[in-house]
A and B are shown apart, each in its own frame.
Chain A
Amino acid sequence: MTFNLTVSPDFAPDHISGWYFFNTWLQRKLGVGIHLELYDSFDAQREDIRAEKFDLIYANPYDASMLVREMGFQAVVKPASKSDETIIAVNAESPFHTVEDLISGCRVATTDDPDVHTMGMIMLESADLDKNNTEIKQHSSYVVVAKNLLNGDADAGFFLKDAYDELSELIRSKMRVLVSSQISVVHHSLLVGPRMAEHIPAIQTALLTMHDDEKGKGVLESMDIETWEPMDSEQTEFMIDLIDTLID
């Protein structure tokens, strides 16, 4: 039987090859066939997840909620010291210097990344802004969000902090961060579905010692992950409860 792996589309394009190396490494470790499928769009990926196409998912916290509570997935590991944080940025020349300076009718550039969008909207609340008094435009990537800010087509943009940090220095120099979230406990995790549940102990053992293995270490570097840390069911439930409080 061949299992199916997918990865939340919010990783930087530079790490695409890393996920292919990871898949090859994992198949050798487990002695099972795994097919990797990547997506550009969160919505298209979520549709296939709901159709029960996948057995192994590196998921963003928002999708982890659906996977665990509705589809019987189990989180096994998370990347060490890598939490998901959101940035609201503006053009460097913008007259807005704090979130509270943003006004009703302002144009917000976002992506279909559910966690970042949710957190971005939460951080706008302190300016009394919400979906009813802002012009929200969804774009295909963070690079396009940045372009909209640089061209003056948006007043504020939402970014995954990791993605913002990986934009070129030139692009970043033309933007200014209004606020960066500091939540720490919301992060991606690798989840295993019911069809692959019998492999959970082997997956966890392989991943938790991955950095000790020469090849494994190289693969982790190509994915921009230092090491994996174990995740138990209570840690997962805690993160999901937290995400639930953020969704109206």
Chain B
Amino acid sequence: MSEQDTGEVRTVEIAYFDGTKRTADIVDREVPYPDGKLIVSRTDPQGIITHANQAFIDMSGYSEDELIGTNHYILRHPDMPAIAFKGLWDTIEQGTKWHGYVKNLRKDGAYYWVKATVIPNIRNGQLVGYTSVRRKPSRSKIVESEALYKTLLAEE
């Protein structure tokens, strides 16, 4: 758990790239990433979740039924700058692998940090979706990312 966590709750309107918005209660409380687990999900080419493993269900706080058919951006934390996701999409749309550190929003408003890797799924030369695998990040990378994202967010 981050030493800076206050447990404070704030209500935030989160706007997504497709023009939709939602209001979420954000709780300043980190849920530690479980040792040894990988969070795995797959989406279609538009980012709609088609597969979620148990670790994803457990960490996100959503049920499998709630996740499947929903856009992956449901996990977007308001502390994440939009430019970080632009970098992700620019990379994977070129057919290459993307790595990055991401602060994810849980259903209960708390957060968890991951080291994420996303790769395009190519079948018979066609893009059929994306696989995202998240693993435990080091505390030093979280601290670096927090500082970087704060700066980027202030510039948006």
Contacts and interface: CB of A to CB of B under 8 A. Distances in A.
B135 A183 contact: no
B36 A182 contact: yes
Interface in B12-55: 33, 35-38, 40, 42, 51, 53-55
A223 B3 CA distance: 50
Contacts, number: 62
A71 interface: no
B119 A127 contact: no
B107 interface: no
Interface residues of A, number: 24
A244 B55 CA distance: 19
Interface string B127-153: 000011101111111000000000000
B137 A126 contact: yes
A179 B54 CA distance: 18
Interface size class of B (residues with CB under 8 A): 20 to 34
Interface string A108-129: 0000000000000011011110
Interface in A231-248: 237-238, 241-242, 244-246, 248
A125 B138 CA distance: 6
A23 interface: no
Given A237-B123, A244-B97, A185 B53 contact: yes
B92 to A, nearest CB: 11
A154 interface: no
Contacts of A242: 38, 40, 131, 133
B143 to A, nearest CB: 11
Given A184-B53, A238-B131, A128 B140 contact: yes
Contact of B36 (A123, A125, A128, A245): A123
A180 B40 CA distance: 17
A100 B138 CA distance: 8
A125 B36 CA distance: 11
A4 interface: no
Interface string A76-107: 00000000000000000000001110000000
B91 interface: no
B138 A183 contact: no
Interface of A: 98-100, 122-123, 125-128, 179-185, 237-238, 241-242, 244-246, 248
Interface of B: 33, 35-38, 40, 42, 51, 53-55, 97, 99, 115, 117-119, 121, 123, 131-133, 135-141
